[in-house]
């Protein structure tokens, strides 16, 4: 992994600033999760120290929520499949291989979708959830970056705790 964070590498310059920041957040998420969680065993990614959500949850949730948030940003409602997968994010017995494959696919798909949204009017209204809570395309894109990084931090912290507990 490069020593310089994605936002300082001078990349993605063909994309406007807000979308560029989101792309950089997704790149950093992948790099940090691989660095701090990629070495964990299947048991460790599913461990729940003190009842906390496992690393597996944070990786799965990050991948799937990225898809859901971008669906809203695109002005669409969630599909039946997206809704059906919501309660499975805490399912036990995830393998590292499955988690990182799902993450890589979600990040690649998410980056392509962010690039498409990069030229959208960021002030265009959007709604979220069954309550149709108000937001904008820009609000959703910023939340994608924020939410992604929040779950990376939680996964990394949990990985450090689990790694210290399980020899």
pLDDT in tens, 30-78: 999 999 999 999 999 999 999 999 999 999 999 999 999 999 999 999 9
Please count the other Cβ atoms lying within 10 Å of the Cβ belonging to residue 159. 23
Number of folded domains in the chain?
Answer: 1
Residue 3: pLDDT over 90: no
Nearest in space to 45 (alpha carbons), one of 55, 59, 35: 55
The domain of 129 spans: 6-165
Residue 103 within a domain: yes
Residue 28 within a domain: yes
Burial of 88 (0-12, 13-18, 19+ CB in 10 A): exposed
Residue 63 within a domain: yes
Q: Which pTM does this prediction carry?
A: 0.95
Backbone φ and ψ of 126, nearest 5°: -140, 165
């Amino acid at each position: 992994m490069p020593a310089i964070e994605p936002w300082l590498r001078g990349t993605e310059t063909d994309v406007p600033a807000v979308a560029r920041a989101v792309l950089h957040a997704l790149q950093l998420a992948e790099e940090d999760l691989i660095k701090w969680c990629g070495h964990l065993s299947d048991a460790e990614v599913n461990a729940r120290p003190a009842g906390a959500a496992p690393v597996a949850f944070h990786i799965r949730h990050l991948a799937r929520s990225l898809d859901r948030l971008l669906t809203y940003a695109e002005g669409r409602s969630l599909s039946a499949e997206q809704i059906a997968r919501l309660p499975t994010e805490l399912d036990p017995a995830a393998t590292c291989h499955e988690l990182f494959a799902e993450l890589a696919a979600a990040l690649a798909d998410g980056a392509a979708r962010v690039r498409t949204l990069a030229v959208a009017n960021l002030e265009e209204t959007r709604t979220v959830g069954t309550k149709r809570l108000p937001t904008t395309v820009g609000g959703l894109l910023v939340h994608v970056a924020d939410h992604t990084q929040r779950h990376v931090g939680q996964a990394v912290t949990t990985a450090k705790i689990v790694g210290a507990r399980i020899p």
